[in-house]
Every structure is written in structure tokens, then in C-alpha cells.
């Protein structure tokens, strides 16, 4: 992160405007072409960005003006984002694979705002991201505001859940543990730690700047002792925030399940992705027919049952 940036918005802008890796730029172009003029920007994030690799499935969010103009069916508009799959060839001839979530700027803003049930939005974009493509300066400004708010929401939501003074590593470990749990994603503490370990200085700087900004707004009083911080909230207010967080967990999980179902029905070409994931985890390539690819809900399930019977998935 640029040392001269002393505001959260400045830090986020520096991060977003880093040069995109060639593979990410290639896929971003394919996503832009797929969605057409309604596409305002394409955000690259996730493990492939963190590990600086094109090995695996690259993750993107595509911000659009309208869902209908992006070709999404009306029934999917009420539960954004809609997750799609795309493949393209890299300049070196390798095959690039990606899943991308389509969302309007307004729905993105609602997702990263405090107090909502869709923690996946701010859990993803309080982490490093970059703009692999944006239509114009206004679209970049929107991304800066959205990612800045994602960080602020993460901090104002998770900090009251901490019992003792904490440093940056303890804070972010708790943040990612809590949000993974809401999405019912079973990840080990070591896997969650790897997110912080990939960029510890960045996470420490972003946390400190966000806490300072929240305190200056009167939103979150904090006391620092070196690299550790502690909230100075009254006990009753801290308890109220914790109860609110816990009370929203069941609905947050239900929304996540609904999102998975929507993705399965929306993504008609999900079978190659699922089989590729199996091959990545097991080392066993699974052949499939054109008929199974065209009609996965009818002809694709026998493949899964075959794999399970062979104990190739555990």
C-alpha cells in the first residue's frame, strides 16, 4: 500500500488501481464482453489474487447498471449477486477459469452497509481487491466507496465481538472465522490465518486507519496500547451489538443456502466447474458427455453418485 495515503479511501484507491495480472485482465475483458455496455467495472479478488497465481478459479465481481441488460432472468434480481462461470484462453494458450458475481452498485452498497444479513459482501471486500477493468473514473470512484465501506463495516461489526485487547492478527482471524461460519464454509484456523499472513502489514494498516476514522465519527471509541487496541464501549452497548450479530445468524445462513440454490439453477454450465473442482481435490479426472453438460440436472447426477461410491470424495 502506498505510504503517502493516510485515509482509508486513499489506501483503498491505491490498492484497487494496482496493475492487473495478465490472466485477470484477460478474464475481465471476457466478462465485460459477455455483459455488454451495462458493465461498469470488474473487481478481482480472492485466493488467486492473494497467491498471485492463475492456477485455479479466479474470482470476480462485475458491477452492472441493470440486471436485465446483463441478460439475467427477472427471478434472480431479488437475491443478488448472481454467480456465473466463464472460461477463456490466455495469451500463452492456457485455459483460464473464473466464476463471477453480477451485482448493481446499489445492491453492492446495501451489501456492504452495516446491519445487513449479507456478510459475504463486506467479508470479501475488506480484503485486498483490484479493479481489473472499469468503464470510467466515476466507476472507479464507486469501487473505492464500496470497498472503503466494506472495511468500515467489517471493523464496526467485528470489533465489539472481541473480549480482550487484540492486535490486527487476532481481529482479522475473528472476522474471517465469523463470516465463514455464516456462509457455512468449513475452513480450518490455519486456512483462515493464511488470509492475514498473505499481507499482514496491509491488514494492520487498514485496521488502524479504519478504527481511527470510526472513532473520529463517534461510531466506535477505541484505546490503543502499542499494536493492540480495546474498545471503550459501555458493557451494555457491547452486549447489545453481540446479541444483534448472533440473532441475525440463522437468517444469514438461510440466505446463503438460497443463494447457492439460485446459483445452481442460474448456472446452466456448472458441471465442468464441479468436475474440475473434484479433479483438483482428488487428482482424478472425470470424463463427461456433451449430453451431461447440456442437461446436468437430468444426466449429471450419476457422475456424482459414481464418485461418491468410489470414495473419491471425502
* Residue 176, domain CATH: 3.30.460.10
Examine residue 121 and state whether it is found in any structural domain, yes or no.
yes
Q: Same structural domain for residues 162 and 212?
A: yes
Q: What is the DSSP letter of 219?
A: S
User: Has residue 3 been placed in a domain?
Assistant: no
One-letter-per-residue 3-state SS of 221-288: CEEEECCEEEECCCHHHHHHHHHHHHHCHHHHHHHHHHHHHHHHHHCCCCHHHHHHHHHHHHCCCCCC
pLDDT < 50 stretches in the chain: 2-4, 310-314
**pLDDT at residue 226, rounded to an integer:** 95
- Classify burial at 208, counting beta carbons within 10 Å of its beta carbon; exposed 0-12, middle 13-18, buried 19 or more: middle
Judge if 17 and 121 occupy the same domain: yes
Other Cβ atoms within 10 Å of 136 Cβ, number: 9
Asked, for residue 2, whether it belongs to a domain, the answer is no
Could you tell me if 236 and 297 lie in one domain? no
The reported pLDDT for the residue numbered 163 is 86
147 occurs within a structural domain: yes
Regarding whether 230 and 111 lie in a shared domain, the answer is yes
Q: What is the pLDDT of residue 266?
A: 72
* Residue 67 maps to a domain: yes
Shared domain check, 177 and 70? yes
125 and 255, same domain (yes or no): yes
pLDDT value at residue 298: 55
Residue that finishes a domain, picked among 250, 267, 284: 267
pLDDT in tens, 73-120: 999 999 999 999 899 999 889 999 999 999 999 999 999 999 988 899
Residues 47 and 139 in one domain: yes
16 and 165 fall within a common domain: yes
Q: Structure pTM?
A: 0.84
The whole domain housing 278 covers: 270-314
In the chain, the number of structural domains is 2
Say yes or no: 133 and 73 in one domain.
yes
pLDDT of residue 143: 98
Alpha-carbon dihedral 228, 234, 235, 236, rounded to 10 degrees: -140
Residue-wise pLDDT tens digits, 18-38: 999 999 999 999 999 999 999
Q: Is 1 a member of any domain? A: no
In the structure grid, which three cell numbers stand for residue 44, read together?
Answer: 478481482
143, HSE (Cβ side, Cα atoms, 13 Å): 32
Same domain, 174 and 307: no
* Pair (152, 176) in one structural domain: yes
81 assigned to some structural domain: yes
User: Do 257 and 275 lie in a common domain?
Assistant: no
Amino acid at each position: 500500500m502506498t505510504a503517502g495515503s493516510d485515509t482509508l479511501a486513499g489506501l483503498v484507491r491505491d490498492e484497487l488501481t494496482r496493475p492487473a495480472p495478465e490472466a485477470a485482465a484477460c478474464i475481465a475483458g471476457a466478462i465485460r464482453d459477455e455483459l455488454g455496455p451495462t458493465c461498469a467495472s470488474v473487481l478481482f479478488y480472492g485466493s488467486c489474487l492473494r497467491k498471485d497465481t492463475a492456477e485455479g478459479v479466479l474470482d470476480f465481481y462485475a458491477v452492472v447498471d441493470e440486471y436485465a441488460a446483463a441478460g439475467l432472468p427477472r427471478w434472480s434480481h431479488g437475491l443478488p449477486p448472481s454467480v456465473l462461470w466463464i472460461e477463456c484462453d490466455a495469451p500463452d494458450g492456457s485455459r483460464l477459469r473464473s466464476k463471477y458475481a453480477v451485482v448493481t452498485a446499489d445492491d453492492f452498497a446495501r451489501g456492504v452497509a452495516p446491519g445487513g444479513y449479507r456478510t459475504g459482501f463486506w467479508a470479501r471486500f475488506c480484503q485486498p481487491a483490484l479493479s481489473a477493468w472499469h468503464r470510467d473514473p466515476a466507476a472507479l470512484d464507486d469501487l473505492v466507496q464500496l470497498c472503503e465501506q466494506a472495511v468500515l463495516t467489517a471493523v464496526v461489526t467485528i470489533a465489539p465481538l472481541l473480549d480482550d485487547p487484540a492486535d490486527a492478527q487476532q481481529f482479522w482471524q475473528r472476522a474471517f472465522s465469523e463470516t465463514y461460519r455464516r456462509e457455512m464454509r468449513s475452513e480450518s484456523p490455519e486456512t483462515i490465518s493464511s488470509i492475514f499472513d498473505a499481507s499482514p502489514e496491509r491488514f494492520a494498516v487498514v485496521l488502524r486507519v479504519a478504527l481511527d476514522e470510526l472513532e473520529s465519527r463517534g461510531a466506535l471509541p477505541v484505546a490503543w496500547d502499542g499494536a493492540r487496541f480495546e474498545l471503550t464501549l459501555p458493557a451494555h452497548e457491547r452486549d447489545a451489538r453481540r446479541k444483534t450479530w448472533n440473532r441475525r445468524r440463522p437468517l444469514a445462513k438461510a440466505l446463503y443456502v438460497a443463494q447457492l440454490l439460485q446459483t445452481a439453477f442460474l448456472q446452466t454450465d456448472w458441471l465442468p466447474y464441479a468436475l474440475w473442482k473434484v479433479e483438483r481435490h482428488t487428482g482424478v479426472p472425470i470424463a463427461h458427455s456433451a449430453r451431461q453438460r447440456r442437461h446436468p440436472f437430468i444426466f449429471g447426477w450419476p457422475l456424482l453418485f459414481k464418485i461418491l461410491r468410489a470414495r473419491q470424495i471425502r
